[in-house]
Amino acid sequence: MHRERYFTLSASCPDRVGIVAQVSGFIAEHRGWILETALHAEPPGDGETVGRYFMRIEIKADSLPFMLTEFRERFRPVAEGLQMEWKITDSAVKKRVVILVSKQEHCLYDLLARWQSRELDIEIPCIISNHDTFKGFVEWHGIPFHHVPVTRETAPRANAEIQRIFEEVGGDTMVLARYMQIVSPELCAAYPGRILNIHHSFLPSFVGAKPYHQAYAKGVKLIGATCHYVTAELDQGPIVEQDVIRIDHSDSVEDMVRYGKDIEKAVLARGLRYHLEDRVLIHRNKTVVFR
Amino acid sequence: MHRERYFTLSASCPDRVGIVAQVSGFIAEHRGWILETALHAEPPGDGETVGRYFMRIEIKADSLPFMLTEFRERFRPVAEGLQMEWKITDSAVKKRVVILVSKQEHCLYDLLARWQSRELDIEIPCIISNHDTFKGFVEWHGIPFHHVPVTRETAPRANAEIQRIFEEVGGDTMVLARYMQIVSPELCAAYPGRILNIHHSFLPSFVGAKPYHQAYAKGVKLIGATCHYVTAELDQGPIVEQDVIRIDHSDSVEDMVRYGKDIEKAVLARGLRYHLEDRVLIHRNKTVVFR
Amino acid sequence: MHRERYFTLSASCPDRVGIVAQVSGFIAEHRGWILETALHAEPPGDGETVGRYFMRIEIKADSLPFMLTEFRERFRPVAEGLQMEWKITDSAVKKRVVILVSKQEHCLYDLLARWQSRELDIEIPCIISNHDTFKGFVEWHGIPFHHVPVTRETAPRANAEIQRIFEEVGGDTMVLARYMQIVSPELCAAYPGRILNIHHSFLPSFVGAKPYHQAYAKGVKLIGATCHYVTAELDQGPIVEQDVIRIDHSDSVEDMVRYGKDIEKAVLARGLRYHLEDRVLIHRNKTVVFR
Amino acid sequence: MHRERYFTLSASCPDRVGIVAQVSGFIAEHRGWILETALHAEPPGDGETVGRYFMRIEIKADSLPFMLTEFRERFRPVAEGLQMEWKITDSAVKKRVVILVSKQEHCLYDLLARWQSRELDIEIPCIISNHDTFKGFVEWHGIPFHHVPVTRETAPRANAEIQRIFEEVGGDTMVLARYMQIVSPELCAAYPGRILNIHHSFLPSFVGAKPYHQAYAKGVKLIGATCHYVTAELDQGPIVEQDVIRIDHSDSVEDMVRYGKDIEKAVLARGLRYHLEDRVLIHRNKTVVFR
């Protein structure tokens, strides 16, 4: 992110001969300098005859004779010929990330440290919480803080309010940084592939509430965390990143909570970075992650 | 294992004041030299008032003025006073481990390499398989090989035959080294805490058949293996050891199988070692593992 | 740390028969309830005939009929008989930790998040830095901030000033949280086993400046971080904790710096916790760490 | 490896605009179906103005209208225009791997297990050892075994004999599977980038003899293994793969040796696989590894 300005083309299309040749040929024709390329051919699923091809290409911005608007226009025929779903983004345009938190501090401190040092080179137009615990901390960083309390009764209104704020600030991505509230199906439907959650278990084990208690009861020897896109089905969205940490019989649920925080924040930060750098492409209920 | 002869006392009892004092006092009184001690206090479960205390103590054999028979006699009053479940074993008496395999080679080669170098200082009185794939390989090592075919119809008889062989050779521990057959409830009941299995998933995820296919379908970013004691309920016995390995979108089911082998054999070898060195104490459906 | 009050006895002495019996006998005699015990017998070094025995025992405070002053008095004869080096601490007395930082934020944010949530249940009487980058951030947390600039010429004075502040605030432990300055031999000598540093390499590889550049030049496939006690010899003090993270050919030095931050903060936090909970005993230039 | 036949093009050239377009254009022109592509742009080193571009492309064999001889002819002008160093291999032609061992069994058993199951789909024309420990075991597998004893005096002759055997059997790759002997500079010079070694430390720490003793003396908290190409300078060749495992104060040198075996064999097997699949490209004294 501390490199020169670049464009990121991410795309997928039905697999066939010559995809890379066409796309890289287009770029070369305009003297575009490729910084990084990642490609993946997904084999056909059951009952399918054609697989799907995924790509992510970084191009040095000043190597091209035009900017994104013209790139999009000129590239469109190539993309259409390949039946491509695609987008291209500009590293100079910072993504706008709205963070939702509850009363746990670890992911929030971690994300703000990365933002403060510009490791995460994003705009944080606001932080939303159902508690006011971190109001002062957030505002000290110069970031607006919205307190949107949630009870069982007010949940629909709270979700609508969150959506209103997100729209108002022009959010690109919503991050549930241990937000601990279930996001409404409406919100999920409004922003598919744009809401990231960190779940405190190694999914698909221990879905739902109190996963560390479930892990303790089961006697597992490793606990984990999962960063995934939020969909209407609880903790079932496409997985972006996971990790685990070793525990043993001497560890209480409280110890697990403590160890777990360290992987939660690391996994969320990695998953968010992949997402922000357009490294994640969703395919059915899975992800291609070009690390 | 390359040390001098030692005795291993492993025990558990209701938690109370003075357990360690009594046990270590007994040992000191007889001038026993302690090589290694591990202790664990398990808090009371729901609805209980008293927790449980677990211990494992290695004592240099020649530091004591008596051998195990007299140790057992003299220690009995202490143990009874503490309502202790306990056993003491002798490092000079090799455990007799019967290995069951199917057609996959990785765990078998791995265990035999460890046995060949005496890293696993055990007797292998025989190896049993439902296929004869490894007959020559096993026999070349000087180990008797029993081919006990299993079909849906012959399963009860096959299980009985396995039990007969195990009894005949005086087996201590049975290891299912990717045996791929379900062991009968009778066999499970006959040897509680003595049959170890390696399951090719990070339990409790992906129970049962084809866990790598399940993992592929779910899109997890790590796959795992679990070594557990076999109980009548499939893949639900107390977990002894687990580990995971990172995969990504480019890995097919076949790749997962290949990566998985490496953790399966490592996890089984570690779990088996803990078991053989009396480092594993079962408590309800969980384990205390004094590594 | 969220448990009831307890005392922690940590000790070492020449190995012999009956150490555990004597110590646990003393505790049992006073009806002390042991929460956690860890023991280690270190074999004799080259040319030695006697090894050394290490122990750490947590005792529930209210199970004993006396507090620490009387414990110390009564235990002294036992300890003297065993030629023991020992100390006992009280979980109710918070350790006073002085943190030194430079211009990098990750360890500081991480430690303050842990302190804020009382995961690290310590006092931070002040934070010292050679830059004023984090003055506002630290003071917002209600923690005094001292700016002690350091140049090659002023280093001796700066070190003296740091020592003066540390004494004035009654510091127990000094933490170099990516402080990036060499601490004077005088300071090292004044607080042996009380100054913790985080070095951004997997020691003993890549001692000194710019370890990530060294790692890049060498082409290693994992990079690491090391938490160690500071001694007069640069990056050579006893190692408390280490960890590594995988990299590959596509990672630049800047990428390594970024990945490295995540392990640096995790390793420092773990090492500090072990130290604060009296889990670390130094033996020659190595550590016993009772995790 | 259990897929249909494919060709693997691996190449590097000075970085410039249009490399991917030219290469993928050539392949597309002949209707070649790309299975897998990996690309890497290495930035210019100090004092250089041009970086270097690396690529590895798998093409389905039967998608092309010609075989390798004609591919090479037709591709030559493209490669020359790009000043490319390149090769193309055929998955149907098994690599011939000569394994050198000493008296330790773990890597040998591990490699033969992988070969037996065709996970490693190679020819092993022979195994060479300075001891005859594994003669029977190797020959049972139907693989010729050569006993080439080595003493300080006979080392030059032994190295010449190894080279003679390697040539005679038409070896592609030589694997030092804990061979424990220093290979002569002549042998290193004869097969640059073709001799793989597994060193039992996390290089660059603990070069040379008895690395576990060195690690024990230093008190590190993780030990490692390194797979690298052999060059004339001991343990300094380009690193292909590394990994580590956690230890603690209670682990003796013997314990480290035992843990170490598990990572040695895993790291060697991974490194060898990368090498055999043409995933490793050497650049100066480092490697690009397209995993």
User: Beta-carbon neighbour count of residue D217 at 10 Å?
Assistant: 15
Inspect the interface and report whether the beta carbons of C249 and D203 lie closer than 8 Å. Answer: no
pLDDT exceeding 70 applies to what percent of chain C?
99
Q: Identify the pLDDT of residue D2.
A: 47
User: Which of C235, C248, C255, C278 is flagged as catalytic?
Assistant: C235
pLDDT exceeds 60 at position B2: no
Alpha-carbon gap, residue C1 to D61, rounded angstroms: 63
End-to-end CA gap in chain A: 14
Superfamily (CATH) of domain A97-289? Formyl transferase, N-terminal domain (3.40.50.170)
Q: What is the mean pLDDT of residues D148-157?
A: 94
Residue of chain D whose Cα is closest to the Cα of B117: D105
Q: Which among D28, D35, D41 has the least Cβ separation from residue A21?
A: D28
Inspect the interface and report whether the beta carbons of A204 and B220 lie closer than 8 Å. Answer: yes
Chain B residues touching residue C35 (CB < 8 angstroms): 41
Inspect the interface and report whether the beta carbons of B21 and C18 lie closer than 8 Å. Answer: no
Q: Which among B109, B119, B250 has the least Cβ separation from residue D113?
A: B109
Task: Give the distance from residue C246's alpha carbon to the nearest chain B alpha carbon, in angstroms.
Answer: 11
Which of A188, A185, A176, A180 has the alpha carbon at shortest distance from A271?
A: A176
**Chains contacting chain C through 3 or more C-beta pairs under 8 A:** A, B, D
Q: Are D170 and D96 in contact (CB under 8 A)?
A: yes
Q: Which among C105, C114, C140 has the least Cβ separation from residue A117?
A: C105
Q: Identify the pLDDT of residue D208.
A: 86
Which of D53, D63, D59 has the alpha carbon at shortest distance from D84?
A: D53
Residue of chain C whose Cα is closest to the Cα of D41: C250
Chain C residues contacting B via beta carbons under 8 Å: 17-18, 20-22, 24-25, 27-29, 31-39, 41, 63
Inspect the interface and report whether the beta carbons of B17 and C31 lie closer than 8 Å. Answer: yes
C278 in catalytic set: no
pLDDT exceeds 50 at position D281: yes
Inspect the interface and report whether the beta carbons of C202 and D202 lie closer than 8 Å. Answer: yes
**Chains contacting chain A through 3 or more C-beta pairs under 8 A:** B, C, D
Q: Are A64 and A47 in contact (CB under 8 A)?
A: no
Lowest model confidence (mean pLDDT) among A180-189, C20-29, D79-88, D96-105:
A180-189
**What are the CA-CA distances from residue A34 to residues A91, B121, D28 (Å)?**
14, 57, 19
Per residue in D153-209, pLDDT tens?
999 999 999 999 999 999 999 999 999 999 999 999 999 999 999 999 999 999 988
Q: Identify the pLDDT of residue C93.
A: 96
Chain C residues contacting A via beta carbons under 8 Å: 2, 36, 104-106, 108-110, 112-114, 116-117, 119, 136-137, 140, 250, 254, 258, 261-262, 266, 269
Q: Identify the pLDDT of residue C2.
A: 47
C39, C53, C54, C221: which to substitute to probe chain B, counting the most B Cβ within 10 Å?
Answer: C39
Q: pLDDT averaged over consecutive 10-residue blocks of chain A (291 residues)?
A: 83 97 97 96 93 97 96 98 98 97 97 96 97 97 97 94 98 97 94 97 93 95 97 93 96 95 97 98 96 90
User: Nearest 5°: phi and psi at D209?
Assistant: -80, 150
Task: Give the distance from residue D120's alpha carbon to the nearest chain A alpha carbon, in angstroms.
Answer: 23
Per residue in D119-147, pLDDT tens?
999 999 999 999 999 999 999 999 999 99
Inspect the interface and report whether the beta carbons of D104 and B110 lie closer than 8 Å. Answer: no
Alpha-carbon gap, residue D159 to D187, rounded angstroms: 7
Chain D residues touching residue A24 (CB < 8 angstroms): 18, 20-21, 24-25
Q: Are B275 and B29 in contact (CB under 8 A)?
A: no
Task: Give the distance from residue D17's alpha carbon to the nearest chain A alpha carbon, in angstroms.
Answer: 5
DSSP B33: P
Chain C residues contacting D via beta carbons under 8 Å: 40, 42-43, 202-206, 218-222, 224, 238-244, 248-250, 252, 285-289, 291
The mean pLDDT value of chain D amounts to 96
Give the sign of the dihedral formed by CA D116, CA D121, CA D126, CA D127.
negative
**Chains contacting chain B through 3 or more C-beta pairs under 8 A:** A, C, D
Residue of chain B whose Cα is closest to the Cα of A39: B250
Q: Are A220 and A212 in contact (CB under 8 A)?
A: no
Q: Which among B105, B110, B250 has the least Cβ separation from residue D117?
A: B105
User: Beta-carbon neighbour count of residue B27 at 10 Å?
Assistant: 26
Chain C residues touching residue D203 (CB < 8 angstroms): 220
With vertex at residue C232, the alpha carbon angle to CA C230 and CA C235, rounded to the nearest 5 degrees, is 55
Task: Give the distance from residue D258's alpha carbon to the nearest chain C alpha carbon, in angstroms.
Answer: 19
pLDDT exceeding 70 applies to what percent of chain B?
99
Task: Give the distance from residue A254's alpha carbon to the nearest chain D alpha carbon, in angstroms.
Answer: 24
Q: Which among A202, A220, A243 has the least Cβ separation from residue B239?
A: A220
Alpha-carbon gap, residue B240 to A115, rounded angstroms: 41
Task: Give the distance from residue C87's alpha carbon to the nearest chain B alpha carbon, in angstroms.
Answer: 20
Chain C residues touching residue D289 (CB < 8 angstroms): 221, 248-249
Residue of chain D whose Cα is closest to the Cα of A32: D17
Residue of chain B whose Cα is closest to the Cα of D139: B140
D56, D221, D263: which to substitute to probe chain C, counting the most C Cβ within 10 Å?
Answer: D221
Inspect the interface and report whether the beta carbons of D289 and C248 lie closer than 8 Å. Answer: yes
Q: Are B203 and A224 in contact (CB under 8 A)?
A: no
Inspect the interface and report whether the beta carbons of A117 and C136 lie closer than 8 Å. Answer: no
- Please name the residues in contact with C146: beta carbons below 8 A apart, sequence gap of 6 or more: C126, C127, C128, C129, C165
Per residue in B144-161, pLDDT tens?
999 999 999 999 999 999
Alpha-carbon gap, residue C252 to D45, rounded angstroms: 12
- The count of CB pairs under 8 A between chains B and C is 56
**What are the CA-CA distances from residue A96 to residues B222, C194, D152 (Å)?**
30, 44, 68
Give the residue numbers of A annotated as catalytic, written as ranges: 235
Inspect the interface and report whether the beta carbons of B116 and D106 lie closer than 8 Å. Answer: no
What does DSSP say about strands B34-42 and B52-60: parallel, antiparallel, or unpaired?
A: antiparallel
Give the residue numbers of B annotated as catalytic, written as ranges: 235
Inspect the interface and report whether the beta carbons of A202 and B202 lie closer than 8 Å. Answer: yes
Confidence of residue B208 (pLDDT cuts 50, 70, 90): confident
Q: What is the domain partition of chain A in residue ranges?
A: 6-90, 97-289
User: Beta-carbon neighbour count of residue B158 at 10 Å?
Assistant: 18
Inspect the interface and report whether the beta carbons of D258 and B116 lie closer than 8 Å. Answer: no
Q: What is the mean pLDDT of residues C65-87?
A: 97
Which of C186, C194, C179 has the alpha carbon at shortest distance from C272?
A: C194
**What are the CA-CA distances from residue D167 to residues B34, D120, D155, D182, D272 (Å)?**
57, 22, 18, 19, 20
Q: Domain B6-90: state its class.
A: alpha beta
Q: Are C65 and C26 in contact (CB under 8 A)?
A: no
Q: Which among C117, C136, C254 has the least Cβ separation from residue A105?
A: C117
**What are the CA-CA distances from residue A164 to residues A146, A172, B76, D196, D203 (Å)?**
12, 13, 73, 60, 55
Chain B residues touching residue D266 (CB < 8 angstroms): 262, 266
Chain C residues touching residue B41 (CB < 8 angstroms): 34-36
User: Which of D110, D172, D235, D278 is flagged as catalytic?
Assistant: D235
What does DSSP say about strands B173-176 and B97-101: parallel, antiparallel, or unpaired?
A: parallel
Task: Give the distance from residue A132's alpha carbon to the nearest chain D alpha carbon, in angstroms.
Answer: 41
The tokens for A107 are 């992911």
Question: What ranges in chain C are assigned the alpha helix state H?
Answer: 19-29, 68-81, 106-116, 135-140, 155-168, 185-190, 211-218, 253-276
Q: What is the mean pLDDT of residues C152-172?
A: 96
Chain A residues touching residue C108 (CB < 8 angstroms): 113
The tokens for D125 are 């024309």
Inspect the interface and report whether the beta carbons of B116 and D105 lie closer than 8 Å. Answer: yes
Per residue in B35-48, pLDDT tens?
999 999 999 988 99
Q: Identify the pLDDT of residue B46.
A: 87
Burial of B284 (0-12, 13-18, 19+ CB in 10 A): exposed
